[in-house]
């Protein structure tokens, strides 16, 4: 989850969790030391939240379209190299 603060700074959190009036998470690289505090953003400081999602339909159409274009190109090349 990408959180944009009121001052336009951004932080990316994995496994976000709201506790009271604060959003906690794990840094993007997933590394946390036992002595380091978890990244936290007060909800009053949050101006925007963005979550990445995969659209299955759009991804499938794009993959199918790519295969159709590749097949068309392959057939065109095979046709141009045919023996006359």
CB atoms within 10 A of CB 41: 19
Q: Residue ranges per domain, the chain? A: 1-52, 54-84
| pLDDT bracket for residue 64 (50, 70, 90) | very high
Q: Kindly report, residue by residue over 24-46, the tens digit of the pLDDT.
A: 888 766 565 556 677 888 999 99
Provide the pairing of β-strand 46-50 with 2-5.
Answer: antiparallel
> Do 25 and 15 form a contact (C-beta atoms < 8 A)?
yes
- Among left, alpha and beta (phi > 0; psi -120 to 50; other), residue 25 is beta
Q: pTM of the full predicted structure?
A: 0.52
């Amino acid at each position: 989850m990408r959180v944009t603060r009121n001052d336009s700074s951004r932080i990316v959190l994995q496994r976000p969790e709201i506790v009271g009036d604060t959003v906690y998470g794990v840094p993007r690289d997933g590394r946390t030391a036992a002595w380091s505090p978890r990244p936290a953003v007060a909800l009053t400081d949050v101006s925007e939240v963005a979550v990445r999602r995969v659209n299955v339909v759009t991804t499938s159409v794009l993959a199918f379209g790519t295969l159709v274009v590749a097949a068309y190109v392959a057939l065109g090349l095979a046709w141009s190299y045919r023996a006359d």
